[in-house]
Structure 1
Amino acid sequence: MKILHLLDYCGVAVFAVSGALAAGRKSLDVLGVVVIALVTATGGGTIRDLLLDRHPVFWIADPLYVVVIIAAALLTIPYTRWVRPPTQILQVADAFGLAFFSIAGAQVALSAGHSGVIAVMMATITASFGGLLRDVLCNDIPMILRKGNIYATAVIVGASLYVAALELGMARLPATALGMVTIVAFRLGAIVWNWSLPVYTLADDEPLPRARNDENDRP
């Protein structure tokens, strides 16, 4: 349980930073920064808890999550005024948040007695849906839906390895490390080397033939 809480606190902090950076790129005020950070950090876990019928949801049961999120968002503002973050810092921060939240989501599902398949699904929802809500509110194409982007795929692979490792008798700590390293490696590979999934493209329909006009077609 201590590992689960530690992963959750780290996850909400990193996701709050990514939310604050996204808000800063849209030139939102301080309240807007905090709102986007809260949505980013709590969105996926809230949906997970509602689907698993966990009441109350995690941040209501433990308000320290909200304190961590707000603190991380507010600390991001002065830090980025003194140190200009690299252009890809949002994606890098998001990759680590993705790893933290993925394994935490899988652990919640497994602790509730659900199967490995459900654990992987909850990992994907926990890790992906906060960022999806963040991008929608910031009027961006959600990262999870960008063409060929390895995002949720990294979660599925990493969470599946985590669940499989536990099933094979590996201790929780090394299994956690295996899953998280895999997720971060896939995301950073996609960011640095442009790894992508095959893109499915459906050709447009052929134009309909022009209707024949006997009056105009006569010689």
Structure 2
Amino acid sequence: MTPFQLLDYAGVAVFAATGALAASRKQLDIIGFLFLASVTGIGGGTFRDLILGTPVFWVRNPNYVLVCAAIAVGVFFTAHLVESRYRLLLWFDALGLSAYSVVGAAKGLAATGSPTVAIVTGMLTATFGGILRDLLAGQPSVLLRPEIYVTAALVGAGAFILAGVLGAPATVSVAVACTAAFLVRGGALKFGWSFPAYKSRPGRRPEDIS
């Protein structure tokens, strides 16, 4: 198994765990766990493959779905042991984002040869599963939290592409990019890093517009 395949499975597994943790916070049944874990685990990669027009990765290799199912079952029986499941969800999400930003960039580059497209697909792969998870679980989207999020995915994808341009071996490129993405997202979670927010007047409600 190649480093990219290992990273792909790791990304799916970690994101699936965040989906299952979200299900535990909503006290869903085992089917709810399986559904949220699978949607979160494979959602970003599915979106990426549809955009690139390539065969959807889990259709070609159903083992990814089995990984999601195994993680869901494991979390179903152990989530109650965790004191702060939302904090764990956020840190697992940071790990998944780091892995998937690199996987998405690598697959985008392989499919198109364009560094720009690769960075975009890395960002989409790393964030879309979490967006779906929060939407389906009815919880505030991680995108709406004040800390840096999408930027961390862009840093990971960009670092992977830059390392490749500089001639670094694949394993080094992966390690550097994953570390960079995780440090940015982890630092944002730990220290509250964020960009300045828009400070003008808020938008009006539809009923206030004549």
State the distance in 2 between where 1:159 and 1:83 align. 31
TM-score between both structures, scaled by the size of structure 2? 0.91
The structure having more radius of gyration, on CA atoms, is 1
Which string of whole-angstrom CA distances, capped at 9 and with x for unpartnered residues, describes residues 96-123 of structure 1? 0111111011111111233111101000
Q: Does 1:153 align with 2:159?
A: no
Asked if the contact 1:16–1:69 (Cα under 8 Å) also holds between the matched residues in 2, the reply is yes
Letter in 1 for 2:192: N
Provide the residue aligned with 1:10 in structure 2.
10
Pairwise CA distance, 1:147: 4.6
Q: Give the aligned partner of residue 183 of structure 2.
A: 185
Give the whole-Å Cα distance in 1 for the aligned partners of 2:180 and 2:110: 22
Q: Which runs of 5+ in 2 are unaligned?
A: 204-210
Residues 1-219 of structure 1 aligned to structure 2 (within 5 Å): 2-55=2-55, 57-85=56-84, 87-144=86-143, 146-203=144-201
CA distance in 1, matches of 2:84, 2:202: 42
Separation in 1 of the partners of 2:146 and 2:190?
14
Single out whichever of 125-134 and 85-94 deviates more from structure 2: 85-94
After superposition, the CA RMSD in angstroms is 1.6
The CA deviation string for residues 65-93 of structure 1, in whole angstroms up to 9 with x for no partner, is: 00001001111122223454555111111
Tell me the equivalent position of 2:207.
Answer: none
Q: Distance in 1 between matches of 2:40 and 2:125?
A: 11
Change beyond 3 A, Cα 1:198–1:62 = same
Task: Provide closer, same or farther for how the CA distance between residues 82 and 171 of structure 1 changes in structure 2, counting only shifts above 3 A.
Answer: same
Q: Which residue of 2 aligns with 1:214?
A: none
- Deviation, 1:161, is 1.3
2:147–2:189 Cα contact (<8 Å) kept? no
Q: Is the 1:166–1:175 contact (alpha carbons within 8 Å) kept by the matching residues of 2?
A: yes
> What amino acid is aligned across from residue 98 of structure 1 in structure 2?
L
Greater per-residue helix proportion = 2
Residue type of the partner of 2:3? I
Q: Which runs of 5+ in 1 are unaligned?
A: 206-219
CA distance in 2, matches of 1:147, 1:80: 23
Q: Read off the aligned partner of 1:122 and give its amino acid letter.
A: T
Specify the code of the residue in structure 1 equivalent to 2:166: L
Provide the C-alpha distance between the structure 2 equivalents of 1:141 and 1:174, rounded to a whole number of angstroms.
36
Count of aligned residue pairs for this structure pair: 203
**Amino acid aligned to 1:187:** R
Conserved 8 A contact 2:24-2:79: no
Segments of 4+ moved more than 6 angstroms: none
Change (3 A) 1:67 1:194: same
Q: Secondary structure at the match of 1:112?
A: helix
Residues of 2 paired with 1:21 and 1:204: CA distance? 33
Secondary structure of the 2:198 match is: coil
Contact kept in structure 1, 2:10 and 2:99, CA below 8 Å: yes
TM-fit CA distance, 1:135: 0.4
Percent identical among aligned pairs is 40
Q: What secondary structure, in the 3-state scheme, does the structure 1 residue paired with 2:112 have?
A: coil
TM-score (norm 1): 0.88
Deviations 1:28-73 (A, max 9, x none): 1111111111110111111100010002x00110000000010011
**Does the 8 A contact of 1:147 with 1:199 survive in 2?**
no
Q: Separation in 2 of the partners of 1:199 and 1:14?
A: 30
